[in-house]
Structure 1
């Protein structure tokens, strides 16, 4: 996918270059942009072909099943594909992930289960926590499990926290220590 994308006029485009630089140089980043800026749908697509990805996948955590499905469907549509191709999703009740899926949008329980079964998240380069301003116990638990796995297994998995508000103190503090 090239950067000449049909929705390149979304406000989050201004943050893409600095975000790429931040993730190339650091393990973690926090992105704050207003609702509707394109965080959920454009950021994963723009980061997919970064050199540090090395062909691995992005796992994006969405707090609600409907949001997970809608985000994956929108990104797949933007690529002219269907869910399960480059972009897929998994919730407790539904799974649309194929062998070529590179962006997986999942709910909190799915991420927690994956970390319990495979703490290294083999084949994953980036975990995106979307909507972190909507903090809840499952999201915090997923972050804690992920940070522990990264420290324990010396993993190079990167973490991106995205929020519509500047209230990202917990995530920024937790990510600064890793």
Structure 2
């Protein structure tokens, strides 16, 4: 009987802990579903360039389109390897929100890095049709003042562009 009592007590404790975890999950799950973040020391494959020790820099920018939050632009730095070797590089991401994506129309996300004084984004990349997460190509701009840049292109139309805060 003693073993049965311990088993029931353990099962009751586990059930209570699981109930607390489920009760706390919706708020954090909803926040992470809206704009996923990349934690430090994560490895990212940004258009064929592998980057490690990736961290977000600057503040993200949420951009509205068609009356709703449509996408988030972020800027990252990471230790990346390209044809010239390994170095610290910057790259951007555009993440399209689910509420925008489920509308079902065609779009392409554009991402790049804007360097202070330049007129065109570097590392520019256009995502595939309806691709929700698009990375720019990492660029060697770690010693420049940069912003992550992004926008959406729809058939014959473009969204407003979004830029992160500048990091020098």
Q: TM-score range by the shorter chain?
A: under 0.3
Select the structure that is richer in helix.
1
**Length-normalised TM-score, structure 2:** 0.24
**Length-normalised TM-score, structure 1:** 0.23
Q: Which has the higher contact order (CA 8 A, sep 6+)?
A: 1
- Bigger Rg over Cα: 2
